[in-house]
Structure 1
């Protein structure tokens, strides 16, 4: 659909960044009100939580990618394991598929996702040791979205997102 001056481009956003308490610890990571208001002025915000959408409860044990990054999980070469040792790869992949389906349905070219998340991290994520060690790479949903052509950003990249997305009046 062509964008007019009266429409805002759709933006897939991690629900926790919008204040929804869907994180593993039952919390949100909401952005400041001024940031949320600015995003809402420029975009139609479409909240998603791939982990919840994949069927994981809130709260839930923390999870990390073991043996690679999101792309390797999608290829079957790595897994997602929670702190109890349970393999939670299937819900992570299912949630990533659901997030991509929504992105396609709503014609989202961009996504603003939570940094460092095993689902949503766009540059790095925890390494699977549960020791706070980061490794380069995307989370499962971020990798799936990026493979489909959706540009993935995190909460520290909001200004660049607005400039790059070609938002009228930005």
Structure 2
């Protein structure tokens, strides 16, 4: 089996809702700097902030907008509308603003987007910030992001060290997989060897099904099988894991590391040991670093970023 390089050494370009980047572009002239939660890590990426509502010409400050008669999907099909208080129908403007933002993201070669859920433009699973109301998801721009197959990260989860770590490792695997040439059965085996432990943690039942199919080696049309395989894994990588699963996976892969490398990492705690989310995230980052230094594949986080100057 050929060995694949699982180190990403080019900064990933990430699109982000402008209001989450710190730009005061919300309807009420406010914004949030979610990148502050990443600390020095924010320098590992190239950021592309966009705001569909500003690009629609709605200005700041502005009256809020809402989707009427459907969802962001039906706005694009012509069945829904976007209404602004005091101004009326702003559908065409928001569609043009959304397309302009997508063109910007494409020029920036982005495949990842950090969005503000609750927005009728950028929202994906909510278009309303009221606790008991989801609104009419997805938003108008959110609909485009889904259609284009972006890896979508909710901005609010950047505040949690463990949730961000989970999004980051899956994002790196997602971007890495999209760039892999998968043309032969050997390519499929090699990619699965890299990602199988992460996939098993996310969805064990689906992973076992994929594993059995690969083990059988019965590929009637290798090109079709390769693209189907890629699409299945990309979709799986979009799904968040849970803290319990992450702790179990960390311990399983650490014990494997200890057995095969003959090395111990005192900071790694057992799954049942009580500690806070920040401590767990620190253990995971430590294992990523230790594994990289020893040339060991850490299945919990199989693809990592290292600046090429530090490799």
TM-score (norm 2): 0.48
For 1:163, the equivalent position in structure 2 comes to 169
- 3-state SS, counterpart of residue 10 of structure 1: strand
Q: Specify every segment of 5 or more residues in structure 1 that has no aligned partner in the other structure, as ranges.
A: none
Mark the structure with the bigger radius of gyration. 2
Matches within 5 A, 1:37-116: 37-38=40-41, 40-84=42-86, 86-116=88-118
In structure 1, the partner of 2:217 is none
TM-score, reference length from structure 1: 0.84
Which consecutive unaligned segments of at least 5 residues does structure 2 have?
Answer: 1-5, 159-163, 173-302, 307-311
Q: Which residue of 1 aligns with 2:122?
A: 120
1:117, 1:79 → 2: CA distance? 15
Structure 2 counterpart SS, 1:108: coil
Q: Give the Å deviation of 1:163.
A: 2.1
**C-alpha root-mean-square deviation of aligned residues, in Å?**
2.5
**Deviates most, 99-108 or 133-142:** 133-142
CA distance in 1 between counterparts of 2:153 and 2:70 reads 20
Equivalent residues of 2:17, 2:51 under 8 A apart: yes
Q: Distance in 2 between matches of 1:168 and 1:27?
A: 34
Question: How much has 1:115 moved relative to structure 2?
Answer: 1.1
Match of 1:8 among 1, 5, 11: 11
For CA contacts below 8 A with separation 6 or more, give which structure has more relative contact order. 1
TM superposition outliers: structure 1 runs of 4+ over 3 Å: 3-6
